[in-house]
Amino acid sequence: MLKINNLHASIGDKAILKGINLEVKPGEVHAIMGPNGSGKSTLASVIAGKEEYEVTEGSILLENEDIEELAAEERAHKGVFLSFQYPVEIPGVSVTNFIKTAINATRKAKGLDDMPAKDMLKMIRDKSELLEIDRKFLSRSLNEGFSGGEKKRNEIFQMAMLEPKLAILDETDSGLDIDALRIVSNGVNKLKSKDNAVIVITHYQRLLDYIVPDFVHVLLNGKIVKSGGKELAHELEAKGYDWIKEEVNA
Partner 1 sequence: MSLKEKLVSSFMAFEDTVDVNSSIHDIRTEAIKTFEAEGFPSKRQENWKYTSLNSILKQDYSVFPKSENALEFKDVKKYFIHEIDSYKIIFIDGKYSSHLSQTTHDGLDVCLMSAALSKPKYKVIIDNYFNKIATKDSLSSLNTAFSMEGAYINIPKNKLVDKPIQIIHFSTGNEAAMLLQPRNLIVVNENAHVQIIERHQSLTENPVLTNSVTEIFANKRAIVDYYKIQNDKPSASLIDSTFINQKQESLAKVHTFSFGGKLVRNNLEFYQNGERIDSTMKGITIIGDKQHVDHNTLVHHIEPNCESHQDYKGIFDDSSTGVFNGKVLVDKLAQKTNAFQANNNILISDKATINTKPQLEIFADDVKCSHGCTIGQLDDSAMFYLRSRGIPEKEAKALLMFAFSNTVLDSVKIPEIKNRITQIIANKLGVNIGFDL
Note the maximum CA span of the chain: 61
Give the CB-side neighbour count of residue 65, counting CA atoms within 13 A. Answer: 9
Least Cβ distance, residue 97 to partner 1 (angstroms): 4
Give the per-residue contact string, 145-184, with partner 1 (x = CB under 8 A; - = no).
-------------x---x----------------------
Which of 9, 62, 76, 236 touches partner 1 (CB under 8 A)? 76
Least Cβ distance, residue 8 to partner 1 (angstroms): 20
Name which of 19 and 87 has its Cβ closer to partner 1.
Answer: 87
Q: Beta-carbon neighbour count of residue 34 at 10 Å?
A: 25
| Rounded Cα–Cα distance for residues 208 and 91 (Å) | 33
Query: Measuring CA to CA, how many Å separate 91 from each of 30, 54, 104, 148, 154?
Result: 34, 31, 20, 17, 15
Least Cβ distance, residue 123 to partner 1 (angstroms): 15
Q: Which stretch binds partner 1 (CB under 8 A): 101-109, 179-187, 191-199, 208-216?
A: 101-109
Beta bridge partners of residue 20, listed in sequence order: 7
Under the binding rule (CB under 8 A), the answer on residue 73 touching partner 1 is: yes
Under the binding rule (CB under 8 A), the answer on residue 50 touching partner 1 is: yes
Beta bridge partners of residue 125, listed in sequence order: none
Which of 30, 40, 100, 223 touches partner 1 (CB under 8 A)? 100
Question: What are the start-end ranges of the E strands in the chain?
Answer: 2-11, 14-24, 29-33, 54-62, 65-66, 80-83, 90-94, 141-142, 166-170, 197-202, 215-220, 223-228
Under the binding rule (CB under 8 A), the answer on residue 11 touching partner 1 is: no
Under the binding rule (CB under 8 A), the answer on residue 248 touching partner 1 is: no
Under the binding rule (CB under 8 A), the answer on residue 109 touching partner 1 is: yes
List Cβ neighbours of 120 (8 Å cut-off, separation of 6 or more): 100, 103
- # residues contacting partner 1 (CB under 8 A): 37
Give the binding site for partner 1 (CB under 8 A).
Answer: 45, 48-52, 71-73, 75-77, 80-82, 84, 86-88, 90-93, 97-98, 100-106, 109, 114, 141, 158, 162
